[in-house]
């Protein structure tokens, strides 16, 4: 399964004030907050963790069909920090999701998968031939429902549609 989330940092600066009282405490675990506070560029880390949670939640929502606002239950860990991408893990209850985040020009795009081996099997596609089921979960209409699900994320200047190859 697959999920993704894109954050336009310029848009976020208009929409959110991550420095307001209670914001970090309500969205991030103690450990994540500690990382954010120690970081020289905390803003990037706030939206990196947020996009990891959102991308992983999209799979969680697919698996459970449950709608919940549970950012603190989606626990992020950064595994590998390379120049052009960041690999991480998000755990939620007994589930684990693997993430890969690209740092864009004033933006962040995270993809999440439920099997680690799929992490490098994700491609970006055009938004075409997509329909949604009764839960609002998108699928590619020309292919079988289960094996070829897609994930869509829009924010500000960015729109990202990804699927497993």
Partner 1 sequence: MNKEELIAKLKVIIKPYTANSEAYDNLTENTDFIKDLEINSANLVDIVLDIEENFDVVIDNTDMERMLDVKTAVEIIETKLAAK
Sign of the CA dihedral 31, 33, 38, 42?
Answer: positive
CB of 12 to partner 1, least distance (A): 7
Who's near 145: CB < 8 A, 6+ residues apart?
133, 139
Q: Which is nearer to partner 1, 21 or 128 (CB)?
A: 21
What residues line the site for partner 1 (CB under 8 A)? 12, 15-17, 20-23, 26-27, 50, 54, 67-73, 136, 155
Closer residue to partner 1, CB minimum distance, 2 or 9: 9
Judged by CB, which is closer to partner 1: 70, or 79?
A: 70
How far apart CA 147 and CA 19 sit, in angstroms, is 41
**Of 63, 64, 91, nearest to 75 (Cα)?**
91
- Return the SS3 of 120: coil
Which is nearer to partner 1, 66 or 128 (by Cβ)? Answer: 66
Min dist CB 115 to partner 1, Å, is 25
């Amino acid at each position: 399964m697959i999920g993704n989330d894109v954050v336009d940092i310029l848009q976020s600066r208009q929409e959110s004030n991550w420095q307001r009282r209670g914001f970090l405490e309500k969205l991030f675990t103690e450990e994540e907050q500690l990382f954010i506070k120690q970081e020289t560029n905390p803003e990037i880390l706030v939206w990196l963790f947020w996009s990891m949670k959102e991308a992983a939640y999209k799979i969680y929502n697919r698996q459970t069909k449950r709608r919940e606002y549970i950012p603190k239950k989606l626990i992020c860990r950064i595994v590998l920090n390379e120049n052009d991408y960041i690999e991480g893990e998000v755990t939620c209850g007994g589930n684990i999701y693997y993430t890969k985040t690209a740092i864009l020009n004033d933006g962040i795009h995270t993809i999440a998968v439920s099997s680690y081996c799929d992490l490098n099997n994700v491609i970006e596609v055009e938004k075409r031939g997509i329909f949604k089921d009764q839960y609002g979960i998108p699928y590619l209409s020309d292919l079988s429902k289960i094996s070829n699900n897609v994930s869509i994320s829009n924010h500000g200047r960015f729109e990202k549609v990804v699927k497993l190859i």
